[in-house]
Amino acid sequence: MQCSWKAIILLALASIAIQYTAIRTFTTKTFTVCPVPNPANCSLGLDPTDSPDRLCEDNQVQNLSRKVHILILATTRSGSSFVGQLFNQHADFFYLFEPLYHVQYTLIPKTPQNKNTPDRRVMLGASRDLLRSLYDCDLFFLENYIKPQPVNHTTDKLFRRGASKALCSYPVCDGLGPTDIYLEEGDCAKKCVSLNLTLATEACKDHGHVAIKTVRIPEINDLRALVEDPRLNLKVIQLVRDPRGILASRTETFRDTYRLWRIWRATGRRPYNLETGQLTMICEDFFNSVSTGFSRPSWLKGRYMLLRYEDLARNPMKKMEEIYNFVGIPRDANVDRWIQNNTRGDQSSAKHKYGTVRDSAATAESWRLTLSYDIVEFAQNACGELLTQLGYKTVGSPQELRDLSFSLIEDRAFTPFW
C-alpha cells in the first residue's frame, strides 16, 4: 500500500489550496496555475505535505511558476538605478525605487554611523515587514511611514515615485489617459500629482512580478528571514562596485557629507577628523555579504546572484541576459531597447545626479582620474581583502593609477549556485 489515507486527504487539501490560488491568480494576467498533482499515484515520491508551490517547483514547470520577488541589494553610487531600470522597463514587473527610505526617515532620520545599535535592528525589522507587504502588493502598509500620513489612501509624498514606470502610467497617474505613454521622472513629478494607493496596489497586482531596489539593507544576512519565508519567492541580486569608485562618486555627489574627503583631495592632507567609516562600512558590508554568498549556504540556493557593476557597464546586454536567466523569466524587448538607448554614452541626454543615462563603460573606471593617489592608497589598505575577493586590482604608483590603458578589473565569473 503506497498511499495512506492520510496522504490522500492531505493531497486533496493541497489541491483545494491550489484551486484557491488559481482563483486568486486568474485575476492577474501573467501567471498560470501549477498543475494539480494526481492523487491516484503517490509513487512519484512527492511529499504530500509539501506546499503546492513546492510541488510546482518539483515538477520543474518553470514557466508556470509563481510570482518572482526581486531585491536589488545595493549601496549608494554603485549603479543601482541602472540595475533597477532592467526591471522597471520590463512589462511584467512592478518596480519600486527605494521604498525603505520612508522607514529610515520615520524611525531614524539621521543615518546611523554605528552598526549594532538597537535603532538599526528596529529599522531592519521594520524594513523586512514592509518588504514582505510590498511583495504582496500591499502598498497601504507604506502609509505607516509616509509623512504627513496619507488621507483617504492618497499621498503626494512617495519618495521618487517618478522612478517607477507603473506609478507614472495610466491609470495610476491621474494626469494621463489610456493611450498616453508613461512619463519620465521629471514629468511624472509635475503631471501625476497625488498617488492613489488603491490604484497603485491594483497596478502592482496586474503585474506578474515585483522588483524593489534598496540601498538601506547592509548585507545579505539581514535578509535571511525573507529569503526563507515560504510565502515569498525572493531572489536577491547583490550589486557591488569597486569601493574606490563608490568613494569617488559619492565625493562628487554628496558634497556636504563627503566634504572632508574633498578637502583631502584638494589639499593633499588627510583631515584629522575624517570619517573613515564612510569607506570602511561599504567594504565590511560587501565583504560579509560576498563571503556568505561564496560559502553557498543552502538557504541561498538559487536565490543569490552577485553582480559587479563594472561587468554590467562593460557588457550590459550580456549581463542583462544572465540576470534574466537567474530570475527565470523571459527578457522583454523594452529592456533591450532601453539598454541600447542608454549605454551609448549620449551625454546630451544625461539628466541629474541620480540619472542612469551615462557612458557606462567609461565611467566605471573614471574614478582613477579624480581620486588622488593618497586616497586610493588609503582605500586599498582599508579594503584590501574585499578588493582581492571581488577581483579588483590595486595600484602601486600614481602612474599606474592614471594609466587607463590597463584595467583594474580582473575577469571573473560569479555564477549563481543552485
Positions in the binding site for ligand NAG (CB under 6 A) = 38, 40-41, 43-44, 63-64, 151-152, 154, 196, 198-199, 334, 337-338, 341
What Cα–Cα distance (Å) separates residue 54 from each residue in 124, 182, 279? 28, 37, 42
Question: Which of residues 28 and 198 has its CB atom nearest to ligand NAG in the complex?
Answer: 198
User: Is the CB of residue 308 less than 8 Å from the CB of residue 406?
Assistant: no
Question: Which of residues 162 and 245 has its CB atom nearest to ligand NAG in the complex?
Answer: 162
Question: Which of residues 47 and 410 has its CB atom nearest to ligand NAG in the complex?
Answer: 47
Residue 351 Cβ vs ligand NAG, minimum distance, rounded to whole Å: 13
Of 313, 246, 256, which Cα lies nearest the Cα of 282? 246
Question: Which of residues 30 and 198 has its CB atom nearest to ligand NAG in the complex?
Answer: 198
**Chain centroid to CA 217:** 10
**Grid coordinates of 238:** 547583490
User: Is the CB of residue 207 less than 8 Å from the CB of residue 188?
Assistant: no
Residue position matching grid coordinates 510590498: 134
Kind and range of the H or E run holding 70: strand 69-73
Contacts by 195-198 with C-beta closer than 8 Å and gap 24+? 195/154, 195/155, 195/156, 195/158, 195/161, 195/167, 196/153, 196/154, 196/172, 197/139, 197/140, 197/142, 197/143, 197/150, 197/153, 197/154, 197/155, 198/153
In 10 A of CB 158, how many CB atoms? 22
Residue 167 Cβ vs ligand NAG, minimum distance, rounded to whole Å: 13
Residue 98 Cβ vs ligand NAG, minimum distance, rounded to whole Å: 22
Question: Which of residues 157 and 412 has its CB atom nearest to ligand NAG in the complex?
Answer: 157
DSSP for 77-126, please give it. Answer: TSSHHHHHHHHHTSTTEEEEE-THHHHHHHH-SSPP-STT-HHHHHHHHH
Of 231, 227, 210, which Cα lies nearest the Cα of 219? 227
Residue 330 Cβ vs ligand NAG, minimum distance, rounded to whole Å: 7
Residue 388 Cβ vs ligand NAG, minimum distance, rounded to whole Å: 38
Contacts by 336-344 with C-beta closer than 8 Å and gap 24+? 337/89, 338/85, 338/86, 338/89, 339/86, 342/85, 343/313, 343/316
Question: Which of residues 44 and 91 has its CB atom nearest to ligand NAG in the complex?
Answer: 44
Residue 37 Cβ vs ligand NAG, minimum distance, rounded to whole Å: 9
What is the residue type of 187?
D
Residue 18 Cβ vs ligand NAG, minimum distance, rounded to whole Å: 16
Question: Which of residues 4 and 334 has its CB atom nearest to ligand NAG in the complex?
Answer: 334
Question: Which of residues 338 and 378 has its CB atom nearest to ligand NAG in the complex?
Answer: 338
Residue 338 Cβ vs ligand NAG, minimum distance, rounded to whole Å: 4
Residue 56 Cβ vs ligand NAG, minimum distance, rounded to whole Å: 12
Question: Which of residues 197 and 247 has its CB atom nearest to ligand NAG in the complex?
Answer: 197
